[in-house]
Amino acid sequence: MENFLHSEMTAPQIAARYSTHAFASTSCAFSSPKLKSRCCSHRRLNRRLNRRHLKRDGEFCCASSSDTGETISENGSAKPSEASPFPLLLFANDSAREQLLSSSSYTHVSPGVCDAHASDVAIRAAWVVLLRSQHPSHRANAKRTKDMFHQEDESFLERYHEWERKYDMFLSSVESDAYQGGTLLNVVSEKEKLLREYGLPDLFRAVKASENALCSDVLFQSLRDDVDNSEDSLKSAIEIALAGNLFDAGAAQAVQNVVGGSSFKGDSNKFAFKNSEDLQFAFEASRKRVRNSEWLCDDLDELRANEYDRVCVFCDNAGADVLGMTLLARELAKRTKGAKVALVANELAALNDVTINELEEFYQVCEQHDPEYLQLYRENGKIALLSSGQASTLLNLNATGKDINDWVKREDTVGGVDMEGKKLKWLVVLDGMGRSLESNWECGKYVQPHVDVLNLAMVKSEINAKRLGANVYDCVCKLSNSR
Domains of the chain: 211-480 (3.40.50.10880)
Question: Is-contact 384 360, C-beta < 8 A?
Answer: no
Q: Please choose, from the candidates 177, 198, 173, the residue with its C-alpha nearest in 3D space to the C-alpha of residue 186.
A: 173
Q: Please choose, from the candidates 416, 403, 400, 414, the residue with its C-alpha nearest in 3D space to the C-alpha of residue 448.
A: 416
Q: Residue 54 forms beta bridges with which residues?
A: 61
According to the model, what pLDDT value does residue 30 have? 26
| Upper half-sphere CA count for residue 414 (Cβ side, 13 Å) | 6
According to the model, what pLDDT value does residue 257 have? 77
The two beta strands, 295-298 and 59-62, are: unpaired
Q: Residue 431 forms beta bridges with which residues?
A: 456
Encode the chain (483 residues) as per-residue pLDDT tens digits: 333 333 455 666 666 655 444 333 332 322 333 333 333 333 333 333 333 233 323 333 343 445 667 899 999 999 999 999 999 999 876 654 444 444 458 999 988 767 788 888 999 999 999 999 999 999 999 999 999 999 999 999 999 999 999 999 999 999 999 888 789 999 999 999 999 999 999 999 999 999 999 999 889 999 999 999 999 999 999 999 999 999 887 667 777 777 665 444 444 444 567 677 888 888 999 999 999 988 999 999 999 999 999 999 999 999 999 999 999 999 999 999 999 999 999 999 999 999 999 999 999 999 999 999 999 999 999 999 999 999 999 999 999 999 999 999 999 974 556 666 678 999 999 999 999 999 999 999 999 999 999 999 999 999 999 999 999 999 999 999 999
- Return the H-helix or E-strand segment holding 153: none
Show the DSSP H helices in 215-297 as ranges: 220-228, 233-244, 252-259, 276-292
**Who's near 158: CB < 8 A, 6+ residues apart?**
none
∠ Cα 47 49 52 (to 5°): 130
Q: Residue 417 forms beta bridges with which residues?
A: 423
C-alpha–C-alpha distance, residues 312 and 165, integer Å: 38
**Who's near 424: CB < 8 A, 6+ residues apart?**
309, 310, 411, 412, 413, 416, 417, 418, 450
C-alpha–C-alpha distance, residues 44 and 103, integer Å: 45
In 293-323, which positions are buried (b, 16+ CB within 10 angstroms) versus exposed (e)? beebbebbeebeeeebbbbbbbbbbbbbbbb
Q: Residue 384 forms beta bridges with which residues?
A: 342
Using left for φ > 0, alpha for ψ between -120 and 50, and beta otherwise, residue 70 falls in beta
DSSP secondary structure letter of residue 131: H
Question: Is-contact 321 244, C-beta < 8 A?
Answer: yes
Question: Is-contact 72 429, C-beta < 8 A?
Answer: no
Question: Is-contact 390 347, C-beta < 8 A?
Answer: yes
C-alpha–C-alpha distance, residues 272 and 281, integer Å: 13
State the sign of the Cα–Cα–Cα–Cα dihedral 110, 113, 119, 121: negative
Question: Is-contact 360 43, C-beta < 8 A?
Answer: no
Q: Can you tell me whether residue 313 is helix, strand or coil?
A: strand
C-alpha–C-alpha distance, residues 21 and 43, integer Å: 6
Q: Please choose, from the candidates 148, 120, 134, 113, the residue with its C-alpha nearest in 3D space to the C-alpha of residue 254.
A: 134
> Mutual orientation of helices 205-214 and 356-368 as an angle, nearest 10°?
20
Task: State how far Cα 433 lies from the chain centre.
Answer: 10
pTM of the model: 0.86
C-alpha–C-alpha distance, residues 432 and 251, integer Å: 12
